[in-house]
Amino acid sequence: MNVEQIISSGLLEGYVLGMTTEEESALVRDLCVKHPELLEEIQQIESALIGLGSQQTPAPNDNLKDRIASQIQFSNAEPEARVVPLNRVEPVAGKSFGYRLAVAASVALLIASSVYIYTLHRQVSDLENRLADASASNTMLSVEMAAEKESMHKLAANFSIVSDPGMKAIPLNGMNSLATRSAMVHWNPETNDLYFNATALPPSPGDKQYQLWAIVDGKPVDAGVIALENGVVFQKMKPITGAKAFAVTIEAYGGSPSPSLDTMCLLGNV
Amino acid sequence: MGIISYFRENKRSIKKVTYTQDELIVLIREKNQKAFSYLYDNYSKALFGVIYHITNDQEEAEDVLQNVFVKIWNHFSSYDEQKGRLYTWMLNIARNMAIDSTRSKHEKVKNKIQEASDTVYHRNRMYTENSSHETIGFKTLIAGLKEDQQQIIDMAYFQGFTQEEIAGRLGMPLGTVKTKVRQAILMLRELTKKEILQ
């Protein structure tokens, strides 16, 4: 809506007359902010209505203004204001003392409220900071919690795999470079499912990877590369049938088609 | 042209102070005596006109006007400038208190059956009662309006009907009510301008 459309809509007249709904009044208010010239229009409508109200009847009695003034209280008593009979009996000195007292009290109140507001402001910003800290640590906690939950789930899943009665646990003993280390292989000879448990294995050196081999009919069969990089310590390997033993060698990244026997580091018989 | 602007200047210089609505609101909030004086000097006649129109009694209208000003002064915290003009707020108070005043007066006179009369009935009655009086009352400004404009201004301004009430009462669409109110006020503005220049 442009200014002319607003003006000719009759909205402003309704606004001044108090006939508009709350939504319409809010609209007028917003429009006045956008188009200050509307305020001028509103003032002219108001003046016309005030003019109309003013001239249609006898005026109120001349003393009515004083009558009303005596019924209400003012923060500032003007010297030239009419004298209220009640005040006439009060001594002048008392009046000015009272006035000074009132001023002093106002100043004191002003200072006190300023200090109070400042203190409140400090408290509010302190609380805001603490709230921000609390919600940050809350977020962190829930992230940690989610991670914990996930690892719990994994552990539970691994545990149920290991607990299967058909699953055989085969310890692999360290040799050569890993003489003091060990690992576990979990293998189900019926379903051929094979898992490698590297909980106690150090990370593979540099660009190398551990590779698991099954010894089937005296020959090594590739059972898969062990991907320790992701912190995975319990990994499903390739299914193996009829293994007599398992061995781990250290191979180039991605594994080798056949094991290099001089890098064998773990070995265990079924 | 020269004469007109001379008169305009003259009129302006006679007026002492002019506050904007915002300035006035601040002063009223401070309970400044100047604010009361200004409020009374600038609005009392218009409010009195509206009140008198409803009470149709000088003394009663003066009492109501007094109560209106006391209420404006003591309950100014309930005025929200975000919701409407200061004059609109005061106008509403004046109309409502005038209606309350005549209602309680009527109720004193009439017996209990009358108590069942609701606002609509009451307003309706006052409207018909006063319509004969108006034509005598406003000779100048309102006489410059067409008859249907007089009627709609009377309902919207002096009686405080809503747009819907007027539409229902006069049997015309809401849009027509808005247009007619606007045309009537435009005419009033023209007449006011002429009057100032006279």
* B75-119 per-position pLDDT tens digit: 999 998 888 999 999 999 999 999 999 888 777 776 555 445 554
8 Å CB contact of B83 and A47: no
What pLDDT score does A204 carry? 77
Complex ipTM value: 0.76
The rounded radius of gyration (Å) of the Cα atoms in chain B is 19
B67 touching A (Cβ < 8 Å): no
**CA A246, A250, A255, A258 torsion-angle sign:** negative
- Quick one: what percent of chain B has pLDDT higher than 90? 38
Q: What is the DSSP letter of B187?
A: H
Task: Identify the weakest region by mean pLDDT among A117-126, A250-259, B61-70, B132-141.
Answer: B132-141
Q: Tokens for A7, please give them.
A: 């003006």
For the segment B60-89, the average pLDDT, to the nearest whole number, is 92
What pLDDT score does A6 carry? 87
8 Å CB contact of B52 and A78: no
The continuous run of DSSP H or E covering A147 comes out as helix A92-163
Nearest Cα residue in chain B from A48: B189
Distance CA B51, CA B64 (A): 7
What pLDDT score does A156 carry? 87
What pLDDT score does B133 carry? 41
B145 touching A (Cβ < 8 Å): no
For the segment B149-166, the average pLDDT, to the nearest whole number, is 89
HSE of A11, CA atoms in CB hemisphere, 13 A? 22
For the segment B25-48, the average pLDDT, to the nearest whole number, is 92
8 Å CB contact of B83 and A22: yes
Distance CA A92, CA B39 (A): 30
B163 touching A (Cβ < 8 Å): yes
Closest CA to A17 of B64, B132, B67, B184: B184
Hey, of A55, A63, A78, which one would you mutate to test binding to chain B, going by the most B CBs within 10 A of its CB? A55
Distance CA B37, CA A72 (A): 12
What pLDDT score does B138 carry? 44
B61 touching A (Cβ < 8 Å): yes
- Distance, in angstroms, between A123 CA and closest chain B CA? 28
8 Å CB contact of B65 and A60: yes
B155 touching A (Cβ < 8 Å): no
Per-residue pLDDT of chain A (270 residues; tens, 9 = 90+): 688 888 888 899 999 998 888 888 888 988 988 898 999 999 999 999 998 888 767 888 889 999 999 888 888 765 544 545 555 444 455 567 888 889 999 999 999 999 999 999 999 988 988 888 888 888 888 888 888 888 888 888 888 888 888 999 999 988 877 778 888 899 999 999 999 988 777 877 778 888 999 999 989 999 998 887 656 678 889 999 999 999 999 888 888 888 888 888 888 988
What pLDDT score does B2 carry? 46
Hey, of A44, A47, A56, which one would you mutate to test binding to chain B, going by the most B CBs within 10 A of its CB? A56
Q: Confidence band (pLDDT; 50, 70, 90) for B71?
A: very high
Distance CA A249, CA A261 (A): 7
Pinpoint the alpha helices (H) of B75-118. Answer: 86-109
